[in-house]
């Protein structure tokens, strides 16, 4: 697809070509008509004089070719101009100037018919190989006379004119080609500046503006664009300020809740120790309170962690890690019943072990919470430029329209998943996604064929361990660590 600048330049060149062509055709037609009309007028005047004055004055009047040649009329006609003559007496033996011998048959039948009718006519045609104007007529019973005027000068002048117009047209087109790009660039400069400013605004530079260089329509367009950008910048600033206030409010409230919550947790621990000695009706209330305090503590801890992400206060501690070893350790600690599948060769990543533990732990907690008793499989798969860690369960899965929102904060998934996705707070998967983004990776979720959910963590890979280090990678199975053959499934 051609750019607008190219189309505008082509349009300008096309306009120049059409203008030059129209002017050239008009000039040529005018000059052609003028030159021919002048020659016709002079020729008709001379022919009329020859027919009406000189021919009747001949004494005796010529009656055949011999008498016509002897009458001196050819010399008189030649003295009046450059015309040569052909005299047709109708006897098949015309008189003709030396150059025009045998040229009578070349005269157009239309002109000969006009002359036979007693009228004066003319025709443009080549005679004896030269461009000529033939004017014919007759006077009474006399011969039909055809005066041949040379038209070479007219044809040469028109040929020169054609060359001049063609050269001028080519020069004009070349100038149009050179200048059209400059003109198009100048016309579209505000549009180009607007596109650049729009890209900068899309990239986050809200201070980008379009220079106003004129007071025409494009200048007013630039002013309108800048007013729109000012309004957008003001709106975004207000939204950022409001968002900052909301984040500070959540962080402050969460921080303030930690002190009384710590006391509640301690009191709940004391109460939990006394539960066996309580009456059944009181014991149930105490168990509910202990569980609620623990959920509240999880929620507050999650909110504090989210606040750190919002405040950009999280710092990475990156080191080289054997991804398989990290996965087996996390599975053994968080979901010992899960199986682990590792690749044949160890996969090394430059990453933060604490954040990997947090991501995988949240994914395993999510699988255990929403697919209780179902099989869970964790696998590490090297891919081009990275590695993928998947946590797949055989639970009820998630509604297709909810998949895109699994990593949103406080999002409540389909009831078939048993409540809030990511734990009771609805923040587990959101926190995992924040950690994954901080590590340069991403989280994706999809339903598993046959039932269940698959959550895939994609991480960049920086290298692989030497073959001698392969036996150090372990797999977790039912709470113990073993060393099966690489690439096997425990």
Give 257-310 as a DSSP string. HHHHHHHHHHHHHHHHHHGGGS-HHHHHHHHHHHHHHHHHHHHHHHHHHHHHHH
State the CB neighbour count (10 A cutoff) for residue 209.
Answer: 17
Domains annotated on the chain, with CATH = 4-157 (3.30.450), 217-310 (1.10.287.130), 319-482 (3.30.565.10)
Is the pLDDT at 169 greater than 70? The verdict is yes
**Phi, then psi, of 170 in degrees rounded to 5:** -65, -40
In this structure, the strands spanning 376-383 and 348-351 are unpaired
How would you label 83-105 residue by residue, b for 16+ Cβ within 10 Å and e otherwise? bbbbbbbeeeebbbbeebeebbe
The Cβ-side half-sphere exposure at 322, using a 13 Å CA radius, reads 19
- The pTM assigned to this predicted structure is 0.47
Tens digits of per-residue pLDDT, 78-108? 877 778 899 898 888 899 888 888 888 889 9
* Beta strand residue intervals within 128-239, DSSP E: 130-138, 144-150
Predicted pLDDT of residue 114: 92
Is the pLDDT at 414 greater than 60? The verdict is no
Is the pLDDT at 115 greater than 50? The verdict is yes
How would you label 296-305 residue by residue, b for 16+ Cβ within 10 Å and e otherwise? bbbbbbbbeb
Dihedral over alpha carbons 75, 81, 87, 93 (to 10 degrees): 60
Is the pLDDT at 140 greater than 70? The verdict is yes
Mean pLDDT of the chain: 80
* Least confident segment among 114-123, 207-216, 318-327, 357-366: 207-216
- CA 317/CA 331 separation, integer angstroms: 22
Predicted pLDDT of residue 488: 34
- CA 409/CA 52 separation, integer angstroms: 114
3-state helix, strand, coil in the chain (%, to 5): 55, 15, 25
Region of 312 on the Ramachandran plot (φ > 0 left; ψ -120 to 50 alpha; else beta): left
- CA 104/CA 95 separation, integer angstroms: 9
Supply 107's token pair. 């005269």
**Phi, then psi, of 461 in degrees rounded to 5:** -115, 140
Which residues lie across from 447 on neighbouring strands?
A: 453
52 in Cβ contact with 68 (< 8 Å) = no
Dihedral over alpha carbons 26, 32, 33, 34 (to 10 degrees): 110
Share of the chain above pLDDT 90, in %: 16
Predicted pLDDT of residue 312: 66
Tens digits of per-residue pLDDT, 229-279? 899 888 888 887 877 776 676 667 666 776 787 777 777 787 777 788 888
The three-class DSSP label of residue 358 is: helix
Residue count of the chain: 490
Tens digits of per-residue pLDDT, 196-241? 888 888 888 888 888 887 787 778 888 888 889 899 888 888 887 8
Supply 480's token pair. 């113990």
Supply 428's token pair. 């587990």
């Amino acid at each position: 697809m051609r750019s607008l600048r190219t189309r505008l330049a082509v349009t300008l060149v096309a306009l120049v070509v059409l203008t030059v062509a129209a002017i050239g055709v008009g000039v040529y037609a005018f000059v052609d008509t003028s030159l021919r009309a002048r020659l016709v007028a002079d020729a008709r005047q001379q022919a009329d004089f020859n027919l009406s004055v000189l021919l009747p004055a001949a004494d005796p009047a010529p009656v055949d070719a011999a008498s016509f040649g002897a009458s001196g009329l050819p010399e008189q006609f030649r003295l009046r101009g450059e015309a040569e003559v052909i005299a047709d007496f109708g006897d098949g033996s015309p008189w003709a100037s030396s150059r025009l011998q045998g040229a009578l048959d070349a005269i157009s039948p239309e002109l000969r018919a006009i002359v036979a009718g007693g009228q004066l006519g003319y025709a443009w045609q080549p005679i004896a190989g030269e461009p000529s104007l033939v004017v014919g007529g007759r006077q009474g019973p006399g011969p039909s006379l055809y005066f041949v005027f040379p038209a070479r000068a007219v044809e040469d002048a028109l040929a020169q004119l054609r060359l001049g117009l063609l050269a001028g047209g080519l020069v004009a087109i070349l100038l149009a080609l050179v200048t059209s790009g400059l003109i198009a660039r100048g016309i579209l400069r505000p549009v180009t500046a607007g596109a650049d400013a729009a890209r900068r605004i899309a990239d986050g530079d809200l201070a980008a503006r379009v220079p106003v260089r004129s007071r025409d329509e494009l200048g007013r367009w630039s002013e309108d664009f800048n007013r729109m950008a000012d309004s957008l910048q003001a709106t975004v600033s207000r939204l950022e300020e409001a968002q900052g206030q909301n984040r500070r409010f959540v962080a402050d409230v969460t921080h303030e809740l930690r002190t009384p919550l710590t006391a509640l947790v301690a009191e709940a621990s004391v109460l939990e120790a006394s539960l066996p000695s309580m009456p059944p009706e009181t014991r149930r209330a105490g168990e509910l309170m202990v569980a609620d305090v623990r959920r509240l503590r999880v929620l507050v801890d999650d909110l504090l962690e989210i606040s750190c992400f919002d405040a950009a206060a999280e710092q990475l501690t990156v080191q080289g890690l054997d991804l398989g070893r990290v996965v087996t350790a996390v599975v053994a600690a968080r979901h010992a019943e899960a199986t682990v599948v590792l690749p044949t060769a160890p996969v090394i990543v430059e990453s933060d072990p604490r954040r990997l533990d947090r991501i995988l732990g949240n994914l395993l907690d999510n699988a255990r919470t929403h697919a209780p008793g179902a099989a869970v499989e964790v696998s590490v798969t090297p891919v081009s430029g990275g590695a993928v860690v998947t946590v797949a369960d055989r639970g009820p899965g998630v509604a297709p329209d909810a998949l895109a929102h699994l990593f949103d904060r406080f999002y409540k998934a389909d009831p078939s998943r048993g409540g809030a996705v990511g734990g009771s707070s609805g923040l587990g998967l959101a926190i995992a996604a924040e950690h994954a983004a901080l590590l340069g990776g991403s989280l994706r979720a999809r339903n598993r064929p046959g039932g269940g959910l698959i959550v895939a963590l994609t991480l960049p890979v920086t290298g692989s361990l030497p073959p001698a280090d392969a036996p150090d990678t372990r797999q977790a199975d039912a709470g113990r660590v073993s060393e099966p053959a690489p690439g096997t499934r425990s």
